[in-house]
Amino acid sequence: MKTTFRLIVLTLIACVGATSALAKTETLPEVTVEGLQRVKDSKLAIVYAEPGADLSVYDSVNLMEPYVAFKKNWARDQRRSASSLSMSVKKRDIERMKTKMAKEFGAVFSQVLTDGGYQVTEDTGESVLLVRPAIIDLDPNAPDISTPSNTQTYTQSAGAMSLYIELYDSLTGDLIAKALDRQSDGSSSHMFMWSNPASNAAASKRILRRWAETLRDALDESKQ
């Protein structure tokens, strides 16, 4: 299942980056190869779910560590735009940002779910929902790069990223639902704002919180 998930994620990265798949939902199939049916008018851009899926039986959530991938050619573009070699993004910067994003995902989702009355666990069981996420097409405009001095970058947006998520019954391994959504954080005006690693982190938390609240709301609505 790990290899299959990785292949799906890599395919999605190509689709989101090259064809703007999120904006072309009219071309999506109504039923996936797994038999999941497309859910329209959802809070996320693309959602497929098992017919008759019932999330009301789950009061605990097992959050897997997310796979994290940057936008295609992001590192290359960052290096090209760097004013000097010391300002260029390096492999250690990328790995550090991936690790930080994965930890932030776990922290934000755990807090939102716990505050909503759900237990976050590493166990499996009849009442445990397994959540398998991936942060893809990550595109920060002011990346956290190790430099000898502080720098200031002015942008209209802190950046953007996409979430791909799969929900499984943790006991049976049955795929219940999957979704894909893209979010950006910035001003709708033409005003520029000062972007730095701190503002990037705050923007990421806001986006992650929106997604976490969507999952929590789906669990809540199933119990009504």
Interval 121-171: pLDDT, tens: 999 999 999 999 999 999 887 666 555 455 555 445 568 899 999 999 999
Q: At what angle do helices 197-222 and 91-115 cross, to 10 degrees?
A: 40
19 pLDDT higher than 50: no
Sign of CA dihedral 94, 2, 15, 30: negative
- DSSP letter at 86? G
Residues 197-208, mean pLDDT to the nearest whole number: 84
Residue 197 vs residue 39, higher pLDDT: 39
Q: How confident is the model at residue 27 (pLDDT cuts 50, 70, 90)?
A: confident
Q: What pLDDT is attached to residue 30? A: 93
Helix (H) or strand (E) holding 105: helix 91-115
Q: What pLDDT is attached to residue 170? A: 97
Nearest to 116 by CA among 58, 190, 46: 58
Q: Which two tokens stand for residue 190?
A: 């033409």
Contact between residue 169 and residue 214 where contact means Cβ atoms under 8 Å apart: no
216 pLDDT higher than 50: yes
* Domains: count for the chain: 1
58 pLDDT higher than 80: yes
The whole domain housing 55 covers: 2-222
Q: What pLDDT is attached to residue 143? A: 64
User: If you count them, how many residues does the chain have?
Assistant: 224
Q: What pLDDT is attached to residue 28? A: 86
Contact between residue 152 and residue 82 where contact means Cβ atoms under 8 Å apart: no
Nearest to 179 by CA among 210, 153, 157, 211: 211
For the chain, strand residue ranges (E) read 37-38, 46-49, 60-63, 67-70, 119-120, 128-140, 153-155, 157-169, 175-186, 193-195
Q: How confident is the model at residue 172 (pLDDT cuts 50, 70, 90)?
A: very high
Q: What pLDDT is attached to residue 157? A: 58
Instruction: Report pLDDT digits (tens) over 174-195.
Output: 999 999 999 987 644 444 444 5
Instruction: Report pLDDT digits (tens) over 68-124.
Output: 999 988 777 777 765 444 556 788 888 998 999 999 999 999 999 999 999 999 999
Q: What pLDDT is attached to residue 115? A: 98
Nearest to 215 by CA among 176, 184, 185: 176
Q: What is the pTM of this model?
A: 0.81
**Mean confidence (pLDDT) of the chain:** 81
